[in-house]
Amino acid sequence: MPRTRTERPPLDPRARRNRNVAVVCALTFFGMIGAAYASVPLYRAFCQATGFDGTVTRAATAPTTVLTKQINIRFDTNTRDLPFDFSAEQTVQQVKLGETKLAFFKVTNHADHPITARAIFNVVPEQAGAYFRKLQCFCFSDQTIGAGQTVEMPVLYFVDPKYAQDFETRNQAQVTLSYTFYPAVDAKPPPVAVASR
């Protein structure tokens, strides 16, 4: 004897509308959470690619053209929530546009344990960020400084010759490169010594 299917009564239009609204709200909620988590790395990648907001860009090679036009690069150093002394070994460097220059920075950890930190950077005026390029920098990765240790760190950089053609930068004779060291977010805390009995 064949089985008969029991059919569900159709949803009334009001219940169907409420269900659709609930699904749309849930999708919107999870979409916004995903966008919030993705916004920081996406913004950072955008700034580094375009030099937006004074963000310095990373370069793979130095330019082949060096102009006679020179500008002054000033160096500024700061720390946030760290027992560090952090300074530039030179306050100003004169650089030709397109010329590769090397600057040195020194950091001392005054804590009684190693600290992992990261340096963030930007340039002023902000428009110069699109032309200030780094080939090598301690700011590209986290730095672990031992207890009481002093470390010297280099930065290899150049200012793109196109700096002289941009109407917003061509009359700017000085650029300030600023670094701020802060505790690395994903750094593990130092091991705690356990007293033996």
What domain range includes position 149? 54-183
pLDDT tens by residue, the chain, 197 residues: 566 666 666 667 787 788 888 888 888 877 777 776 665 555 555 555 554 444 556 788 888 899 999 999 999 999 999 999 999 999 999 999 999 999 999 999 999 999 999 999 889 998 898 899 999 999 989 999 999 999 999 999 999 999 999 999 989 999 999 999 999 876 554 444 444 43
CATH of the domain at 139: 2.60.370.10
Q: Is residue 13 part of a domain?
A: no
- pTM higher than 0.85 for the full model? no
Q: Is residue 111 part of a domain?
A: yes
Q: Is residue 20 part of a domain?
A: no
Specify the number of domains making up the chain.
1
Residue indicated by tokens 């952090």: 86
